[in-house]
Amino acid sequence: MKLLYLHLLRKDVKYSAYSVISIVESSGFKAGFVKDPLEALRYAGKYKVVLGATLLTPMLLDEGLLEGLRKVSGRLFLVAGGPHATGDPWGTLALGFDAAVHGEGEETLPELLRALEEGDDWRRVKGVYSDEGFAGPRGLARFEEFPPWPYWRGLAGPMEITRGCPFACAYCQASFMFKALVRHRPVEDVLRYARIMKDLGLRDLRFITPNALSYGGDGTKLRLEAVEELLSKLKGLNMRIFFGSFPSEVRPEFVTEESIRVLKRYVSNRRLVIGAQSASEAVLKRVRRGHGWEEVVRAVELSVEHGFVPEVDFILGLPGETEEEMMETLEGMKYLAELGARAHLHYFMPLPGTPLAFSDPTPLPPRVRREVAKLVGEGKGWGQWLKQEEVAWRIVELRRKGVILPKRASKVVA
């Protein structure tokens, strides 16, 4: 029986779903999207149906999704990938999934599907967790060899141009899912797909990258000539270039007089997302950010000087964060606001696969809450920090119940 791969299409992982379908279809398999697990049942009997899902940890709070997965478990082959499946494979399997893909899926998923289609032992595919154990790690994927989205379906979106991060911040899944070795989509390939977007009638270019200004380098230092080569060639397409804005950002130490001039010359965005996370030097060191507060201030000053509005990311409630450190960060936000920036507020969430996965958030003291509310009320800050606070503590509850990160000894499939 012919295999059909269906991927769960949800707003919070839409672009990941596009990427997965491009991988599957360009590998020769028939594929499609469903918006609900139960939709996949209509194809059972006609095909050997594999239902895939990109899992983010907050999705485990969606009881409707979990109920749908429970109803199709055992009737379809269920495979999960993404940050949560990588960080918590045993918990993912306990949700009813038959397989959890660890890390990058460009090579693992097609090999898994091929084994399922041909009746081979899929549990021995490298990079796959199953009820028998872990088949062993796989090397780095050549993500740049696959289309960023299934353009032949008329679908496109932000283009992933860089993968991997060398900094391994303690709260972030990126380094632990995609590793520290930074890889880039070559300039000519970026141009090729940008032209395809233009042919589809799209005019805005946006990019997925952990640090837009790391393009062309090893991620630890700026290679401005590579960044300028990319942007200058894209500029020739007469499309609007959004670089260093959502869904990407820039690290503050990469914002220099030279790099900001290059951005000003080529990009259309006038908002620049800068990752700071804290104004406390002690907190920055504890979470292994790899930069200090001075670099954040300098990045904001340069950005404003050259006509950008910096949107600076901050995280409150980090494990072990004291009230004094939180107040120091709030004072830092106020100072940056005076310079012309806005604070983008987040609340710490303990995500599987990170060094802080088993750490609880720090509750926000009343004084901190009052100051945050004042900052937001004055238009100097914004964000989903209240919703994230609720989600964070529900994640902690699931961890304490063993739904997330259950205790289980890992074994390697022979």
Instruction: Please give the structure tokens belonging to residue 295.
Output: 């670099």
Q: Rounded distance, CA 117 to CA 128, Å?
A: 16
Tens of pLDDT, residue by residue over 70-103, are: 999 999 999 999 999 999 999 999 999 999 999 9
DSSP assignment of 341-401: -EEEEEE----TTSTTTTPPPPPPPHHHHHHHHHHHHTTSEE-SHHHHHHHHHHHHHHHHH
Residue 409 has a pLDDT of 64
Instruction: Please give the structure tokens belonging to residue 333.
Output: 């936000």
Pick 127 or 139 by higher pLDDT: 127
Q: How confident is the model at residue 178 (pLDDT cuts 50, 70, 90)?
A: confident
Q: Rounded distance, CA 64 to CA 290, Å?
A: 40
Residue 410 has a pLDDT of 65
238: Cβ contacts below 8 Å, ≥ 6 apart: none
Tens of pLDDT, residue by residue over 207-254, are: 999 999 999 999 999 999 999 999 999 999 999 999 999 999 999 999
Residue 174 has a pLDDT of 84
Q: How confident is the model at residue 408 (pLDDT cuts 50, 70, 90)?
A: confident
Contact 207, 158 (CB under 8 A): yes
Q: How many CA atoms within 13 Å lie on the side-chain side of 392? A: 26
**Cis, peptide link before residue 350, omega less than 30° from 0:** no
Q: Rounded distance, CA 148 to CA 15, Å?
A: 9
Residue 139 has a pLDDT of 87
Tens of pLDDT, residue by residue over 38-62, are: 999 999 989 999 999 999 999 999 9
Q: Rounded distance, CA 303 to CA 268, Å?
A: 14
Q: Residue 412: pLDDT above 90?
A: no
Q: Rounded distance, CA 358 to CA 360, Å?
A: 7
Q: For the chain, what percent of residues have pLDDT higher than 70?
A: 99
Q: For the chain, what percent of residues have pLDDT higher than 90?
A: 95
What's the whole-number average pLDDT of the chain?
Answer: 96
> At 268, is the secondary structure helix, strand, or coil?
coil
Average of pLDDT values for 126-138? 95
Average of pLDDT values for 192-204? 98
Residue 205 has a pLDDT of 98
| Burial tier of 119 (Cβ tally within 10 Å: 0-12, 13-18, 19+) | exposed
- Look at residues 28, 67, 84, 74 and name the one whose alpha carbon lies nearest to residue 51: 74
Average of pLDDT values for 309-332? 98
Q: Rounded distance, CA 142 to CA 134, Å?
A: 22
Walk me through the domains of the chain, giving residue ranges and CATH numbers: 3-134 (3.40.50.280), 158-246 (3.30.750.210), 270-406 (3.30.750.200)
235: Cβ contacts below 8 Å, ≥ 6 apart: 241, 266
**Pairing status of strand 309-316 against strand 342-347:** parallel
Q: What are the Cα distances from residue 141, in Å, to 107, 147, 178, 401?
A: 6, 13, 9, 34
Q: What are the Cα distances from residue 87, in Å, to 264, 367, 395?
A: 38, 34, 14
Read off the pTM.
0.94
Q: How confident is the model at residue 325 (pLDDT cuts 50, 70, 90)?
A: very high
| Amino acid, res. 354 | T
Helical pair 187-199 and 224-235, crossing angle rounded to 10 deg: 30
Q: Rounded distance, CA 234 to CA 203, Å?
A: 12
Q: Residue 414: pLDDT above 60?
A: no
Instruction: Please give the structure tokens belonging to residue 235.
Output: 């500029």
